[in-house]
């Protein structure tokens, strides 16, 4: 399963991620979090508040810096398939080694690419994750802040992102709104 989550407020994102990663850890699973320093810190704090012991976070939740991992994947402005395979293989092997349950991954590398105007690279990275998901067992959630979509004219791009995912988690403001109302949110 490959989900995309759009969000306006970091607090909303972090609360839902704590449920996602925390739920996996509660099932004796492992988490891989490839995110910004602020989101890693906020998520760790929320997991501790949920009663997840530090030992679980140290052992079964792997935290990596999205910018650093992304830097190791890129060649000439595009993610490289061989480098992606190497990086993700290492992370999955570590997670599988400490897990007797499911593996949940959260990533922000695509959002970083998107916010830097590297849309083709972001879509290519989404496709690499889809290919990996066909070979390995994990659930992946990607997070995109709504501020990365500054104009209603980017609605086609949003739909392209959505098409690369099996499920879409709408932003907190969406709560059942129509597509035209979602377009309005993108023009904020």
Q: What is the pLDDT of residues 109-142, one digit of tens each?
A: 999 998 888 888 988 998 999 999 889 889 999 9
Angle, to 10 degrees, between the axis of helix 81-98 and the axis of helix 66-73? Answer: 130
Q: How far is CA 128 from the centre of its chain?
A: 13
Q: What residues make up the domain containing 121? A: 2-186
User: Cα–Cα distance between 142 and 110 in angstroms, integer?
Assistant: 7
pLDDT-based confidence at 153, cuts 50/70/90? low
Does residue 101 surpass a pLDDT of 80?
Answer: yes
Helix residue ranges per DSSP H, the chain: 10-26, 37-49, 54-60, 66-73, 81-98, 109-115, 119-135, 155-163, 179-186
pLDDT at 187: 42
135, 88 Cβ separation under 8 angstroms: no
Quote the tokens at residue 103: 């593996």
Tell me whether residue 71 is exposed, middle or buried, using C-beta atoms within 10 angstroms of its C-beta: 0 to 12, 13 to 18, 19 or more: exposed
Number of domains comprising the chain: 1
pLDDT-based confidence at 176, cuts 50/70/90? low
Query: Tens of pLDDT along 35-53?
Result: 999 999 999 888 888 877 6
Q: Which residue has the higher pLDDT, 68 or 184?
A: 68
CATH number, position 13? 3.40.50.300
pLDDT at 57: 63
């Amino acid at each position: 399963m490959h989900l995309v989550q759009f969000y306006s407020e970091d607090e909303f994102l972090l609360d839902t991620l704590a449920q996602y990663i925390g739920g996996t850890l509660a099932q004796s699973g492992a988490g891989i979090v490839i995110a910004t320093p602020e989101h890693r810190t906020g998520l760790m704090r929320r997991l501790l508040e949920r009663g997840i012991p530090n030992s679980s976070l140290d052992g079964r939740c792997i935290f990596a810096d999205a910018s650093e991992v992304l830097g190791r994947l890129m060649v000439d402005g595009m993610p490289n398939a061989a480098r992606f395979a190497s990086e993700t293989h290492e992370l999955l092997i570590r997670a599988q080694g400490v897990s007797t349950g499911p593996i949940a991954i959260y990533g922000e590398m695509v959002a970083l690419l998107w916010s830097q105007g590297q849309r083709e690279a972001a879509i290519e990275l989404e496709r690499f994750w889809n290919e990996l998901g066909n070979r390995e067992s994990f659930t992946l959630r990607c997070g995109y802040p709504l501020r990365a979509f500054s104009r209603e004219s980017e609605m086609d791009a949003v739909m392209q992102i959505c098409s690369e995912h099996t499920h879409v988690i709408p932003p907190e403001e969406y709560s059942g709104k129509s597509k035209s109302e979602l377009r309005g949110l993108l023009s904020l």
